[in-house]
Amino acid sequence: MIDLRSDTVTKPTPAMRRAMFEAEVGDDVYREDPTVNRLEERAAEIAGKAAALFVPTGTMGNTIGIKLLTEHGQEVVCDSRAHILDYELSMVAWFSGCVVRAIPTVRGLLSADEVIRNIRPLSPNSAATGAVAVEQTHNMGGGTVYPVRTLCEIYDAAHQRGVRDHMDGARIFGCSGHSRA
C-alpha cells in the first residue's frame, strides 16, 4: 500500500539515498547545478508546463504560488482542512495579504458547484476571490486523490469567473504514476 497522507511519512530507499549522495552539484543561483536543472526540466515536462522551479519546501511553493496568483486583499477558496490554511504559518495572510474562504468538504475534495457558490466578486461588502486552491493528494482527507475530471470542472468554473487556480501538489507524484520517473 502507498501512503499518500503526507510527503513527510515517506522514507527514502537505499537507491534514493545513493542517488542523493552521488548527485552532481553546483551553484543553483547561477543555474550551474545540473541536478537541480534536470529536476526542474523533468518536473516541467511531466506537468506539461514551460518551466518549473525547485523550492526546498512545500510551504515555500504554496506561498510563492498564492502570492503570484492573487492581489493583496483578495480571498482564496480552499477546503477547510487544507495545508495552506492549517499548517503553513498563515502565509496566505502574512505574505500574500489574503484571507481564506474555508469550505467544509467530504475527505478534502471541493466540487465545482461549491467553488461557484463561494466565488465572490469585489463589492463594498466583501473581498474578491483571487484564487481557488486544491490539495493533491489531500493530507487531512487521508490521502484522498482528486479525480482529473473534478479538477477540470473546478478549474473551468474558476477560470470562467476570472479566478485563478493553485494546486498544493506536495504528494502529486505519489498518485500520478510518475513516482519512479
Tens of pLDDT, residues 52-94: 999 988 899 999 999 999 999 999 999 999 999 988 888 999 9
Residue 78: count other Cβ atoms within 10 Å of its Cβ. Answer: 29
Q: What is the pLDDT of residue 6?
A: 64
Same structural domain, 63 and 46: no
Low-confidence ranges of the chain (pLDDT < 50): 178-181
Q: What is the pLDDT of residue 56?
A: 84
3-state secondary structure of 132: strand
For 153, the domain range is 58-172
Domains identified in the chain, total number = 2
Q: What is the pLDDT of residue 179?
A: 42
Same structural domain, 92 and 149: yes
Is residue 47 a part of any domain in this protein? yes
**Predicted TM-score of the model (pTM):** 0.84
